[in-house]
């Protein structure tokens, strides 16, 4: 099933790039199936999800999805969840045919994912919950001596929620080295660029000041994302880890990239077809 562990060197990253390419094309295709989905947010997190789920950094058995050894993966930015659906279908959490029903009556695949979808741990999309819940899970695992990892992905607009900072303040004090916080730093909230709303920068310095072991990478370079996450996991730091993935909201769709309103912009079906055709089958 999962080819990554058997691959070595450049082959690994070729594999991850192919997966990311596939995932971006699938995300676009599914947006055509359900135009009410937040495509721009879902295009910025493609390489993050690919590195995690195809790079061996998130391990969840679809036949035992709450097994105690699983990686706890929390998608706090639930609105970017469209690009998780093809991964979960491909890994066997639900039949791939369900993807054609996104947002249609009777499906469990909504515009913002909830744990009625196999593969999702928590309620997402209401912002400001994931980091604190992940902190509690990481704490619970530590207290029980369970070595499983907790990974939480937020957007950057979500960083305006005060509860996120309560968790950022608290997790280091508990030395939760089993917790990884990934920020999909696509510079854009719902109505504008973050730096025009209230400056988040210097963001990495903020995490470091709170004692998080922090890296910043190009969030669309899947190799760099994988390397940074792997390095963070191997770090001897007793503190929780943070990866700031510098991304582009709407990556791969020129009408969305650089558009301050990309969050609430949908792509027309013909535009999706054109983009997918231009991308080709392979990267």
Partner 1 sequence: MSAPEIRAMREPVIERIRERMHDDAGVFFLTADFGSPALDRLRAEFPDRFLNVGIAEQNMVNIATGLALEGYKVFAYAIAVFATLRCYEQLRVNLGVLAQLRPMSVHMIGVGAGVSYDVSGPTHHGMEELAAVRAMPRFAVACPSDWVLARKWVDHAVDAGGTGYIRLDGKPVARLYDDAALAAADYRIGFHAFSVSAPLTVVATGFMTQKALRLRERLAARGVAIGVVDVFNLRDPDGVRFREALHGVATVVTLEEGFPHRGGLDTLVRSLLDGAPTRIRPRGFAERYTFEIGPREFLHEANGLDEASLEAFLLETLAERA
Q: Return the number of the residue (166 or 257) whose C-beta is nearest partner 1.
A: 166
**Element holding 208 (H helix, E strand):** helix 203-209
Q: Return the number of the residue (88 or 256) whose C-beta is nearest partner 1.
A: 88
Instruction: By CB under 8 A, name the one of 137, 151, 182, 253 that touches partner 1.
Output: 137
Distance CA 230, CA 7 (A): 16
Distance CA 111, CA 223 (A): 29
Spacing of C-alpha 95 from chain mean position:
21
- By the rule CB under 8 A, 115 interacts with partner 1: yes
- By the rule CB under 8 A, 133 interacts with partner 1: yes
- By the rule CB under 8 A, 147 interacts with partner 1: no
Q: Return the number of the residue (4 or 160) whose C-beta is nearest partner 1.
A: 160
- By the rule CB under 8 A, 166 interacts with partner 1: yes
- By the rule CB under 8 A, 228 interacts with partner 1: no
Distance CA 232, CA 182 (A): 11
- By the rule CB under 8 A, 135 interacts with partner 1: yes
- By the rule CB under 8 A, 121 interacts with partner 1: yes
- By the rule CB under 8 A, 241 interacts with partner 1: no
Q: Return the number of the residue (43 or 141) whose C-beta is nearest partner 1.
A: 141
List phi, psi (to 5°) of 52. -70, -50
Structure tokens at 100: 């054609």
Q: Return the number of the residue (50 or 124) whose C-beta is nearest partner 1.
A: 124
Q: Counting beta carbons within 10 angstroms of the beta carbon of residue 255, is it exposed (0 to 12), middle (13 to 18) or buried (19 or more)?
A: middle
Binding range to partner 1, per CB under 8 A, among 14-22, 30-38, 163-171, 233-241: 163-171
Question: How near is the Cβ of 67 to partner 1 at its closest, in Å?
Answer: 13
Contacts 24+ apart (CB under 8 A), 145-148: 146/68, 146/69, 147/178, 148/68, 148/69, 148/70, 148/71, 148/72, 148/178
Q: How many residues bind partner 1 (CB under 8 A)?
A: 29
**Element holding 130 (H helix, E strand):** helix 130-144
Instruction: By CB under 8 A, name the one of 143, 198, 236, 278 that touches partner 1.
Output: 143
- By the rule CB under 8 A, 63 interacts with partner 1: no
- By the rule CB under 8 A, 112 interacts with partner 1: no
202 preceded by a cis bond (ω within 30 of 0): yes
| DSSP type of residue 242 | E
Query: Which of 73, 66, 50, 41 is CA-nearest to residue 4?
Result: 50
What x-and-dash track marks residues 251-280 binding partner 1 by CB under 8 A?
------------------------------
Binding range to partner 1, per CB under 8 A, among 87-95, 124-132, 204-212, 213-221: 124-132
Is there a contact between 34 and 111 (Cβ–Cβ < 8 Å)? yes
- By the rule CB under 8 A, 118 interacts with partner 1: no
Q: Applying CB under 8 A, which residues contact partner 1?
A: 114-116, 121-123, 126, 128-129, 131-141, 143-144, 146, 162-163, 166-167, 169-170
């Amino acid at each position: 099933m999962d080819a990554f562990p058997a691959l070595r060197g450049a082959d690994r990253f070729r594999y991850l790039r192919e997966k990311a390419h596939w995932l971006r094309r699938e995300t676009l295709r599914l947006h055509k199936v359900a135009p009410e989905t937040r495509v721009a947010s879902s295009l910025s997190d493609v390489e993050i999800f690919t590195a995690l789920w195809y790079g061996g950094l998130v391990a969840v058995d679809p036949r035992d999805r709450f097994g105690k050894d699983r990686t706890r993966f929390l998608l706090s930015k639930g609105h970017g969840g469209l690009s998780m659906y093809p991964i979960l279908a491909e890994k066997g959490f639900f039949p791939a045919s369900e993807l054609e029903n996104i947002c249609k009556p009777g499906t469990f695949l909504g515009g913002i994912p909830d744990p009625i979808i196999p593969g999702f741990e928590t309620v997402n999309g209401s912002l400001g919950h994931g980091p604190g819940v992940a902190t509690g899970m990481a704490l619970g695992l530590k207290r029980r001596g369970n070595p499983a990892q907790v990974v939480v992905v937020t957007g950057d607009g979500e960083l305006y929620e005060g509860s996120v900072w309560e968790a950022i303040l608290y997790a280091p004090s508990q030395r939760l080295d089993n917790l990884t916080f990934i920020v999909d730093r696509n510079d854009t909230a719902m109505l504008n660029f973050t730096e025009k709303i209230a400056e988040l920068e210097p963001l990495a310095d903020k995490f470091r000041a709170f004692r998080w072991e922090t890296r910043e990478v190009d969030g669309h370079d899947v190799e760099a994302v994988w390397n940074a996450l792997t390095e963070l996991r191997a770090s001897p730091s007793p503190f929780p880890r943070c990866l700031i993935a510098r991304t582009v909201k709407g990556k791969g769709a020129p009408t969305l990239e650089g558009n301050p309103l990309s969050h609430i912009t949908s792509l027309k079906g013909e535009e999706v077809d054109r983009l997918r055709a231009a991308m080709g089958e392979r990267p």
